Amino acid sequence: MTAELSPIDKAKFVAARRAADYVQDGMRVGLGTGSTAAWLVRCLGEMVREDGLRFRGVPTSSRTAALAREEGIDVVGLDEARWLDLTIDGADEFDTELNLVKGGGGALLQEKIVAAASDQMVVIADAAKEVAHLGAFPLPVEVVPFGWRTTQALVTETLEAMDVLGREITLRMNGSQPFVTDEGNYILDLHLGRIGNARQLAMVLNQMPGVVENGLFIDICDTVIVGHGDGRIEIRDINAGTVSEDRIDFVEDDNLFRDLGD
C-alpha cells in the first residue's frame, strides 16, 4: 500500500499521524483543510473507530466536514464549541519563525478564525513547504464580490509601497467562473515572489475596504511537524524553542491506504 504513495504523500502521512497524537479524549479540535489535513482526519477517524478516541471536531471547510463525518468524527460548529483546545492544519509555506501562508484550498477565512480561537495551533507539512522568506506561493486574499475589481486596484496600488518582488494579481477561477469560498466571497491570488515584511503586509491588506481576510498567519502557529518521505519527523516548537525528531514506520496493511479519495 505505502509503496504506491509518492514520497510527498508519505511525508504528509507521517506528519499527520504524529499530529494525531496531540488529540486527547474530550478535546475540541479544529480540523484543517487540504491534502495534508485530509490525512489527519483519516488518522483521527481510525483512532475513533479502533481506539475509542472521543473528541469534537470543528472543520474549517465543508470539504473537511464531509470527510470527518465519513470517518465517524463528532462534528460541531465553532459557535457550539466556543473555544478550542487545539487546531491542526496544513500550510502552503512556513518560515523559520513559523509564520505561514495559507489558503491554497480557498478556506483561509474559516481556517484563520478557527486557529485564532484555539489554545494551540499545530501545522503539519512536508519539508518542501519550508522557505527562507514567505511569498513564493501566491498569497490568497479573500474579498467580497461587490466591487472586486476596485478592491484589486486598491491592492495593486498598495503593493507599490510594500517590500515585495512581484505585484501580479489574479482572480482565482473555477473553470470559467470565479472561485467562490464557503462564505460566498472571491479570492485574489497575489504573486509576490518574496515578502519582505509579512506582518506589515497583513495589517495593510486587512485595512482595505472590500478585503475580508488574507492568507498570512502571523504569530498564530505554535508547532510545526515536518514529515519526510522516509518516515522521519521533525517537531519544531516556537514557544519552547526546541526541535525534536521522531520516526514512523509504515505499515503495509494500514486501513488508511484503502479507498483513498485524494
Strand partners, 103: none
CA angle centred on 99, ends 33 and 17, rounded to 5°: 45
CATH number, domain containing residue 101: 3.40.50.1360
Tell whether 122 and 244 lie within a shared domain.
Answer: yes
Give yes or no for residue 21 having a pLDDT over 90: yes
40: helix, strand or coil: helix
Q: Are residues 45 and 171 in the same domain?
A: no
Judge if 102 and 154 occupy the same domain: no
Same domain, 197 and 240: no
Does residue 134 lie within any of the structural domains? no
- 155 within some domain: yes
Q: Are residues 196 and 234 in the same domain?
A: no
Q: Nearest-5° angle of CA 61, CA 96, CA 99?
A: 35
Say yes or no: 30 and 119 in one domain. Answer: yes
- pTM for the model stands at 0.93
List the end-to-end C-alpha distance of the chain, in Å, as a whole number. 15
Q: Is residue 50 part of a domain?
A: yes
Place of cell 523559520: 96
Number of alpha carbons in the 13 Å side-chain half-sphere of residue 162: 26
Q: Is 89 known to sit in a ligand binding site?
A: yes
> Which percentage of the chain shows pLDDT scores above 70?
94
Q: Tell me: is residue 253 an annotated ligand-binding position.
A: no
The answer to the question of residue 53 being in a domain is yes
- 95 and 146 co-located in one domain: no
Q: What pLDDT shows up at residue 255? A: 57
262 in a domain, yes or no? no
Please report, for the domain that includes residue 144, its CATH number. 3.30.70.260
With 80 as the cut, is the pLDDT of residue 251 above it?
Answer: no
As for how many domains the chain has, the answer is: 2
d(CA 214, CA 180): 15
Q: Which amino acid would we find at residue 139? A: L
Contact 122, 87 (CB under 8 A): yes
Residues 29 and 74 in one domain: yes
Q: Quickly state the pLDDT bin for 261 (edges 50, 70, 90).
A: very low
The response to whether 61 counts as a known ligand-binding position is no
pLDDT (tens digit per residue) in 109-164:
999 999 999 999 999 999 999 999 999 999 999 999 999 999 999 999 999 999 99
Question: What is the tens place of the pLDDT at every residue in 46-98?
Answer: 999 999 999 999 999 999 999 999 999 999 999 999 999 999 999 999 999 99
DSSP state letter for 195? B
> Are 66 and 195 part of one and the same domain?
no
Judge if 89 and 148 occupy the same domain.
Answer: no
How far, in Å, CA of 251 to CA of 156, rounded?
A: 50
Residues in Cβ contact with 80 at an 8 Å cutoff, skipping those fewer than 6 apart: none
Say if residue 112 is in the same domain as residue 238.
yes
112 is in an annotated binding site: no
Is 12 assigned a ligand-binding role in the annotation? Answer: no
Residues 90 and 120 in one domain: yes
Tell me which of 111, 142, 213, 245 is the catalytic residue: 111
Domain range for residue 47?
2-129+219-257
Asked, for residue 37, whether it belongs to a domain, the answer is yes
Would you state the pLDDT for residue 30?
98
Q: Is 111 part of the annotated catalytic residue set? A: yes
| Helical H segments across the chain, by residue range | 7-20, 35-51, 62-70, 78-81, 108-116, 148-159, 198-206
The pLDDT of 2-8, averaged and rounded, is 78
Distance between CA 159 and CA 155 in Å, rounded?
A: 6
